[in-house]
Structure 1
Amino acid sequence: MQAWRKKKGLMRAAKYTTVLEPMEREVLGDLTATVSEALIARAQSAPKDELAELTGISSGHKDTPEDPSLARLLPDFAREGDEEFDGENSLMRSLHENDICREKLAHLQIIGQAVGPDGGVEISLSEEEAHAFISGLNDLRLYVSAGEIAGGEGAQEDRDSLVEWLAFNQDSLLNAMMGQ
């Protein structure tokens, strides 16, 4: 992967560009699809709430996801050791988890469009897309780093390399956005 660059136009807004290797493009696209599917499945499996249906306020799960990767993307609203009042965390989760999933999916959609079936190894993003791309990369990195690994030390090294590459991609784009 080439480092992200900022291209300024005289009459146009800045664009952020990079070129991926074909394998990097494929891995990024597959990973984006995997995380998107996990978030969609989580949102669709939320229990139905009669009050939510009457008021139009979406209602999500009350419990933390069992999958450690999803739990990393959708953490509790309170830290361990904090005082909790009568299910406050469950209430916050049920009210906000679907909105959080929706926002994460929107960010992942930007990545998917950039590298998807019609996308190529050359990626060009607007300022707004770049912000979403960074957020999506962060979610991918968190999801992969929290996953359980089967396959021994080699699989662990592969996962660590993928997490490192995602972090480099994120850092490179952030540096380009900051003008460094």
Structure 2
Amino acid sequence: MVDWLNAILDAMDQAPPPAGSFLHLILDRYLKEARRIRKAPVSDDLTTKLAALGQSEAETFREVLSAVGAKDHLDAFTAEPASQPAQGHHADYHAAFAEHRHHIANTLLQLAPNGYSIDSLCEPLGPSADEMVRAMVEASSRELARTSAATPPTVAAPSTS
């Protein structure tokens, strides 16, 4: 049944993504985590983790832009994420971190000539920009999972007593 439904969906898709494309999917995951971070409970531990991730993601973003020859897309907003906030402003920092991620994802998707990959912009023997983004998102996801900020909230089962 699933194979049949997938075959029907594939036949109906007027512009399917090229085979092996994943950048759009990995960035969708990246943005979903950003939305969860906005809603995550505020804690010093999470804010410290976000500050470190923000620095790491900014560095990878600079490397990706360099690999695709698009350093002119690097601006102050994405070059250096906000430093860790003073006590009491953690919720604002969570929002700023999420906005930083949105800006990175939107920039990368706008650079993708076909909307699915930026590898065609790389030098022939250079690193895969898509793989660089994948590694960044997966590393960030693992770190966020350790603090449970990226995992959806669980709903307790209703009591039967």
What TM-score results when the alignment is normalised by the length of structure 2? 0.37
Higher strand share: 1
Higher relative contact order (CA 8 A, sep 6+): 2
